[in-house]
Amino acid sequence: MPGFEVFGAEEKQQVLEVLDSGVLFRYEFAAQRKGRWKVLEFERAFADYTGTAYAQAVTSGTAALKVALAALGIGAGDEVITQGFTFVATWEAILDCGAIPVFTEVDLTLNMDPADLEKKITPRTRAIIPVHMMGAQARIEEIMAIANQHGIPVIEDTAQAAGAHLHGRHLGSFGAIGTFSFDSVKTITTGEGGMCITNDQRLWQRMSEYHDHGHDHVPNPGGRGGEGRSFIGFNYRMMEIQGAIGLAQLGKLDGIVAAQKRNKQFFQEAVSVLPEVEFREILDRDGDSSTFFTFFLPDKERAAAVNQVLLDHGAGAIRWSENGWYYYPNWEQLLQGKSYCHN
Ligand SMILES: Cc1ncc(COP(=O)(O)O)c(C=O)c1O
């Protein structure tokens, strides 16, 4: 149930307020704004919602990963471990830093297998990115314990799991940085957009500077420093209209998750009657944002037959093993080392 399905008066009102001020840029223009700082408000509301100290809005979930990696100082030749079942954006961001993605197996949670993570750590490992795929928890407590033991920072890719928890704590708030996507099909959406959350003031400051060409926003949160730059940055700034829509959507997130839980329960009961069906392991049902409902059948012929029945009734399922965007054996552009240059 993507957030666009509940667009209503709240989103319209928010967008009209931005258009009324005429200020689309998230910084400066204090005199024209009529007191409205939509991206800043969205950041503060998102940090409060997730129980973290700082949030940095960016242009996408992919940008959020890139900004998080940059803030952790990840660069050429570093190894970053993630899982072999994720959206391509996770390893695209790693490669974009000049770093090397290393993939772990997933376990029955369909997220990072901590036992395999231990095997993949080398002296060159500089970060670990578990992904909370399809709205539900990776074994983040075990992953954090391993990462802490080795002194390696964790970025939680929470693009698909806004509103989800583990044992009462928001996903994205366990690691050094948690990243989110608000693209057009996500649980809450700003059309395109993303967020990084952290409890570390220094990391927030680096993300804030990096995402805006290195500008320092600390002395003047509504403005842009001009005091000199600590390092080379880039432009991943969110627009005021996106911040405004995000504020309205965030107010609906818990309601969306509650509706998803009801829908998932309905599907779970219906599918339970299939012989030999098995379900993904969910570590904490209360905290599952229930964005997806996933089940396993004994072989691909049975999976295809069941999917055909679903398709015939207008509810076709994704067969992850065949999907080109999420599953390691199907990432031919990566496996063949094809970049836009030096092909
Ligand atoms: C796990 C995961 N990470 C990152 C992203 C990237 O988000 P965006 O589309 O906002 O760039 C996605 C998007 O689907 C995703 O599923």
pLDDT per residue of the chain (343 residues) written in tens, 0 to 9? 789 999 999 999 999 999 999 999 999 898 999 999 999 999 999 999 999 999 999 999 999 999 999 999 999 999 999 999 999 999 999 999 999 999 999 999 999 999 999 999 999 999 999 999 999 999 999 999 999 999 999 999 999 999 999 999 999 999 999 999 999 999 999 999 999 999 999 999 999 999 999 998 866 656 786 667 889 999 999 999 999 999 999 999 999 999 999 999 999 999 999 999 999 999 999 999 999 999 999 999 999 999 999 899 988 788 888 888 999 999 999 999 998 886 6
Residue 93 CA: nearest ligand 1 atom is: 4
- What is the reported pLDDT for 323? 85
Is any ligand 1 atom within 6 A of the Cβ of residue 181? yes
Domains contained in the chain, CATH given: 3-252 (3.40.640.10), 256-329 (3.90.1150.10)
Compute the distance between CA of residue 242 and CA of residue 100 in angstroms, rounded to an integer: 32
If you measure from the C-alpha of residue 62 to the centroid of ligand 1, how many angstroms do you get, rounded to a whole number? 6
Is any ligand 1 atom within 6 A of the Cβ of residue 87? yes
H-only helix segments in the chain: 9-21, 38-50, 61-71, 88-96, 114-120, 140-150, 201-210, 240-250, 253-271, 300-312, 332-335
Is any ligand 1 atom within 6 A of the Cβ of residue 54? no
Q: Using CA positions, which residue lies closest to atom 3 of ligand 1? A: 159
If you measure from the C-alpha of residue 159 to the centroid of ligand 1, how many angstroms do you get, rounded to a whole number? 5
- What is the reported pLDDT for 46? 98
Active-site hit among 38, 66, 186, 252: 186
Q: List pLDDT tens digits, range 144-165.
A: 999 999 999 999 999 999 999 9
If you measure from the C-alpha of residue 89 to the centroid of ligand 1, how many angstroms do you get, rounded to a whole number? 6
Q: Ligand 1, from 59, 87, 88, 129: best to mutate by most atoms within 8 Å of Cβ?
A: 87
CB distance 288 to 164 below 8 Å: yes
CB distance 6 to 260 below 8 Å: no
Residue 120 falls in the annotated catalytic set:
no
Residue 194 parent element (H or E): strand 194-198
Is any ligand 1 atom within 6 A of the Cβ of residue 90? yes
Tokens of residue 227, six digits: 């005091």
- What is the reported pLDDT for 70? 98
- What is the reported pLDDT for 342? 67
- What is the reported pLDDT for 322? 84
- What is the reported pLDDT for 135? 97
Residue 182 CA: nearest ligand 1 atom is: 10
Q: Quick one: which of 150, 130, 126, 152 has its CA closest to 140?
A: 130
User: What's the whole-model pTM score?
Assistant: 0.97
- What is the reported pLDDT for 229? 81
If you measure from the C-alpha of residue 91 to the centroid of ligand 1, how many angstroms do you get, rounded to a whole number? 11
If you measure from the C-alpha of residue 160 to the centroid of ligand 1, how many angstroms do you get, rounded to a whole number? 7
Instruction: Say which amino acid occupies 49.
Output: Y
Compute the distance between CA of residue 83 and CA of residue 126 in angstroms, rounded to an integer: 15
- What is the reported pLDDT for 230? 86
Tokens of residue 4, six digits: 């666009």
Is any ligand 1 atom within 6 A of the Cβ of residue 131? yes
Tell how strand 125-129 and strand 79-83 pair up.
parallel
